[in-house]
Structure 1
Amino acid sequence: MKLTHKERIELHGFNNLTKSLSFNMYDICFTRTKEEREAYLNYIDEQYSAERLTQILKDVADIIGAHVLNIASQDFEPAGASVTLLVSEAPVEHAPSEYFEESPGPVVENVVLQLDKSHVTVHTYPEYHPDEGISTFRADIDVSTCGEISPLKALNHLIRSFETDVMIIDYRVRGFTRNKDGYKLFIDHDISSIQNYIPEDIAEQFDMIDVNVYQEHIFHTKCKLREFDLNNYLFGYTKDKLTPDEHIEITERIKLEMDEIFYGKNIVE
């Protein structure tokens, strides 16, 4: 059943459906020495500090229309950060009809809807290969809401907030709510794929696959960058400093790292 601005489901009490978005992004870098690896990790710590992550999550709260009740944030040694926002119900106002359609959400826009018992979290995980060569940064973001709007509307902003080579996105609707006649509703909006919430200019940059269980309201999408400029994966120098053989070798190592993350298995044992 699709919700529109003019026609909404009339509920008996509060909308008790829980909608959960898990967004995992991976950024890959080639670091051939210990010094390059340490410089990359320092860059990541500055780029994605607890302070900046807090602002990203505050923007998400704006998009899903939530009051922030509490913020817990922490930078870690030697690397990484975590932020948790506890958010609560906000006053209900009329929202544009596109907020209930299967389409990308805004980047940052204040739209106030009904929410309760909700949270937004992010945890970061920098890591590296023991023999040098590849360093990987992962950020896990969870947005869980109770109310009308889907947290998938925050996906557009989240993708644009991170440098992403591989994205793993999960969405699930849990529980049920009731209409005014007592009829149980286990989902209150149409969804065929998470891909429909990814803007076209971003989607065209990625290869994407879906694994969906429609009858259980479980949706899973994986995205891998199609093409890349090697300069974006070198730290402290550019590709013109490489020999042709080095250019090929590093490119293949980066592609292999992306493929193994995307497919969830070691391709080279």
Structure 2
Amino acid sequence: MTGRSIKKLDNNKLSLYGFNNLTKTLSFNIYDVCYAKTEREQHDYLQYIDEQYNSERLTRILCDVTDIIGATILNISKQDYDPQGASVNILIAEGEVPVSEIDQSCNRGKMVAHETVHAHLDKSHLTVHTFPESHPDNAISTFRVDIDVSTCGEISPLNALDYLIESFDSDIITIDYRVRGFTRDVHGKKYFIDHDITSIQNYINEATLQRYDAIDVNVYQSNIFHTKMLIKELQLQNYLFNTDVYELPPKQRLDISNSLRREMIEIFSGANIY
């Protein structure tokens, strides 16, 4: 039987046998860094992050991503953790789905008669997990968000790149994108990718890229693409929690800026600086 058509890399239509079975997975690690010196400031920062990025807001972000990539939500599972952190899992389908096939008890996060709902994850899904973190011996606190968008078929997670980056205060961004599997045309020929891509950066807005230093590590023969981004400009006031930059003497401002930049470089490079 003949299923859908996809665009070949030369933009001509290609008739498939069955359906497009390619799986496209986009994985994010997003880090926000903050200077919070006292135990009280660290506690207040973690509380602030927990309120700003609770499961309700994360659900709204993932629902927007679903709309952007043109998918339909089937099921949502979400959870806020004690003492901090949150998770959201969304099961999605390509295109329109009959209402009778959607689990209304937890669609778009409206959970009924359950404190928590666990959704199985199918071929297409979105997940987000948050990890606020601090240490009493270090005045730098960090907030990490892990996001996975996995789709099967024509819908592409790459279309949501700019929205996801803009949804968080991102100092360091690590992005992985991979296309797995293959699909066949009516003659049985395998196709291991259905779109042009040389770099994840090709799908990021130019104005966004201007704010970051970015490097790529790509394995083209395996359809694996990796991009790391580090914020260029460090405006100290944006990294002080409950403190005005002009309350600090110049040397202290410089020391804090150096500590923040060192933390960012260590996270970006994946190595401690001694």
Q: Same fold (TM over 0.5)?
A: yes
| Count of residue pairs the alignment pairs up | 243
Query: Within 2, Cα distance between the matches of 1:69 and 1:150?
Result: 17
Match of 1:250 in 2: 256
Q: CA deviation at 1:3?
A: 6.3
Match of 2:269 in 1: 263
Match of 2:39 in 1: 34
Aligned with 1:241 (options 219, 222, 247): 247
- 1:139 and 2:145 correspond: yes
Aligned with 1:154 (options 160, 182, 199): 160
Q: CA deviation at 1:88?
A: 1.5
Map 1:49-198 → 2, pairs under 5 A = 49-91=54-96, 117-198=123-204
Question: CA offsets, 1:158-188, max 9 Å, x none?
Answer: 0010000000000000000001211000111
**Equivalent residues of 2:39, 2:136 under 8 A apart:** no
Query: Within 1, Cα distance between the matches of 2:123 and 2:68?
Result: 16
| 3-state secondary structure, aligned to 2:218 | coil
Aligned with 1:222 (options 216, 228, 232): 228
**Equivalent residues of 2:71, 2:155 under 8 A apart:** no
**Equivalent residues of 1:3, 1:188 under 8 A apart:** no
TM-score relative to the length of structure 2: 0.86
Question: CA offsets, 1:83-140, max 9 Å, x none?
Answer: 0001123249xxxxxxxxxxxxxxxxxxxxxxx8200000000011331300000000
What amino acid maps onto 1:200 in structure 2? Answer: E
- 1:203 and 2:209 correspond: yes
| 3-state secondary structure, aligned to 1:222 | strand
Query: Within 1, Cα distance between the matches of 2:10 and 2:26?
Result: 20
| 3-state secondary structure, aligned to 2:225 | strand
What amino acid maps onto 2:18 in structure 1? Answer: G
Query: Within 1, Cα distance between the matches of 2:236 and 2:10?
Result: 44
Identity %: 59
Query: Within 1, Cα distance between the matches of 2:229 and 2:272?
Result: 18
Match of 1:2 in 2: 9
What amino acid maps onto 2:163 in structure 1? Answer: H
What amino acid maps onto 2:78 in structure 1? Answer: S
**Is there any run of 5+ residues in structure 2 with no aligned partner, and where?**
1-7, 98-121
Instruction: Name whichever structure is richer in strand by fraction.
Output: 2
Divergent runs of 4+, >3 A:
none
Match of 1:98 in 2: none
Query: Within 2, Cα distance between the matches of 1:133 and 1:3?
Result: 53
Query: Within 2, Cα distance between the matches of 1:32 and 1:41?
Result: 13
What amino acid maps onto 1:78 in structure 2? Answer: P
| 3-state secondary structure, aligned to 2:148 | strand
TM-score relative to the length of structure 1: 0.88
**Equivalent residues of 2:94, 2:155 under 8 A apart:** no
Match of 2:218 in 1: 212
Query: Within 2, Cα distance between the matches of 1:250 and 1:88?
Result: 47
Query: Within 2, Cα distance between the matches of 1:144 and 1:134?
Result: 33
Query: Within 2, Cα distance between the matches of 1:56 and 1:8?
Result: 33
